[in-house]
Amino acid sequence: MDRRHFLQLTTGASAATLLGSRPALTFSGNRQLIEAWTAQGVPMPQEVLNQTYFLSLQDDPLPNPPRTVRDGKLWTQLPSQPVAIAFYQAIPGFGNVTLYADNQGRGYQPPDFPLNLNLACAESRIYRVRAAIATWASRGYRPSDQVESRLQRASLKLQQAQTPSSRREQAMLASESLREGLWAGELAVYEQARQHIAQHPPRPEFLWGCNFFGHPEAGDSYDRQFQALFNFATLPFYWRSFEPQPGQPNFARIDRALSWLEGAKITPKGHPLVWFHEAGVPDWIKELSYDQLCDRTQQRVTQITRHYGHRIPYYDLINEAHDIDWANILNYSPDQFLEITRLASAAAAAGYPKVQRIINACCLWAEYVPKHAYPLPKKSAYQYLQRCLEAEIPFEIIGLQLYYPSQDMFEINRLLERFGQLGRPIHITELGVSSATTPDLSSHFKTVPGLWHQPWTEAIQADWVEQFYTLCYSKPFIHAVTWWDFADGGFWPHGGLLQADLRPKDSFGRLQALRHRLLE
């Protein structure tokens, strides 16, 4: 497809056709009432309730319509289509998570309001878990007594909450129902993953990865422990540091790391070839026109893939090209990003025809979309990937970043299955959760986010790691998982599998044992 034809397909009126004729979103004139309380029966604080947002029944977040929030009440216009609702809440005995209400898959419309969000989320959680169990039953899954008893308690507490003696009692009972439903969902999804693994042969080709940014400065202990755990390594190709002056790429650092990986028989991957974050844009690039940048991008991508050929089979071709503010410092439009994706894809194959091209996405639940007002709604990672597929841009793999998302394992599983429906193999390209709750002044992010079951410790991090990797390994369409970073002092606070002094954490041993067990 030539450039002119591509632009005709991806701009103006043709874009609606490419996107499946998605209609413009409109809002109802009348405002509806949503009410919510904390687990203790106190009206939900404004700053918490204001995080509530609508989704389509296909799980695409929608821009927030005009709203007013105070005293545990949210008055809002409704989108003209049936909607689901996302709601962040602290659930004692489980953690701080995003909850969902979808009216048993039917969505909510004006006659369904006013709406008690606590009850709606509790009802929807039970329904979602029951529906998932019914689906998994066709594959041979049978829930344990523990899952069933949790679901029964969730249903009983919900029934009691619907006829309470006070608002405080209702909120407490709804929270107890949610606690049981959340645990039931996580237990069930972990059980079915383990059962699937037990029924299928091992996957020796599965890629257990991590970025390899500590070599050689971190020394022999870093390298030795890396080799003991991983068979896949990410190498840095950030344009700003790789080519600070035009025409002077620095291959030397990559060459040293690559030689070591080849000796250790670890498969390498380059990251990222195209990224419009400050780290991915040299100063000299900022002075170029869009057309000039496209030309230089193609030159860079072809030069790198040709230089390394078969020695680096995988690349994160383009990173975060879906309406993420920090990854768009040159203010390109979605159509321009789509064209750059196409040009980079062709350039990578021109350098090495067998290259495995990964389109890498972040912020997978797209919580940034509701915060952006009309008339120019932002696109989610899922919608961007849909556009890439519909535009027939050649690439082999979908890359997903998944730092701790304030979602429970059941909802994480739903998201992985949704992206799996796009029909491409998936790599989890970046991943991290914390092992402590104190500020980490040595990391990029200093403050530790989220609460999963209990405050973050080495043991809680290890539990999360074991469950998440088990989910991924159980899915034939997921081919790789890459942790980010190996040791503390990197991107995510307390996010390493090693301490900053390279002592292994519980998660290192847990992941190593899991890998050995799965490959037996």
Ramachandran region of residue 41, left (φ > 0), alpha (ψ -120 to 50) or beta? Answer: left
CA pair distance 364, 367, nearest whole angstrom: 8
Q: Name the strand (E) or helix (H) holding 76.
A: strand 73-79
Per-residue tokens: 392: 């027939």
Closest-CA residue to 111 (of 139, 78, 155, 64): 78
Per-residue tokens: 123: 């009802």
Q: Name the strand (E) or helix (H) holding 432.
A: strand 426-432
CA pair distance 104, 82, nearest whole angstrom: 12
Q: Name the strand (E) or helix (H) holding 129.
A: helix 117-137
Residue appearing with tokens 């847990």: 510
First to last CA, the chain: 47
CA pair distance 13, 33, nearest whole angstrom: 36
Contact 365, 404 (CB under 8 A): no
Residue appearing with tokens 């500590």: 214
Q: Is the pTM of this model over 0.85?
A: yes
Report the Cα 429 to chain-centroid distance in Å.
Answer: 10
- Residue 247 CB: number of other CB atoms within 10 A? 7
- Residue 391 CB: number of other CB atoms within 10 A? 17
Q: Name the strand (E) or helix (H) holding 297.
A: helix 290-308
* Per-residue pLDDT tens listing for the chain (520 residues): 333 333 333 333 333 333 333 455 676 667 889 999 999 999 999 999 999 999 999 999 999 988 999 999 999 998 889 999 999 999 999 999 999 999 999 999 999 999 999 999 999 999 999 999 999 999 999 999 999 999 999 999 999 999 988 989 999 999 999 999 999 999 999 999 999 999 999 999 999 999 999 999 999 999 999 999 999 999 999 999 999 999 999 999 999 999 999 999 999 999 999 999 999 999 999 999 999 999 999 999 999 999 999 999 999 999 999 989 999 999 999 999 999 999 999 999 999 999 999 999 999 999 999 987 555 568 899 999 999 999 999 999 999 999 999 999 999 999 999 999 999 999 999 999 999 999 999 999 999 999 999 999 999 999 999 999 999 999 999 999 999 999 999 999 999 999 999 999 999 999 999 999 999 8
φ, ψ dihedrals at 72, nearest 5°: 75, 15
- Residue 23 CB: number of other CB atoms within 10 A? 8
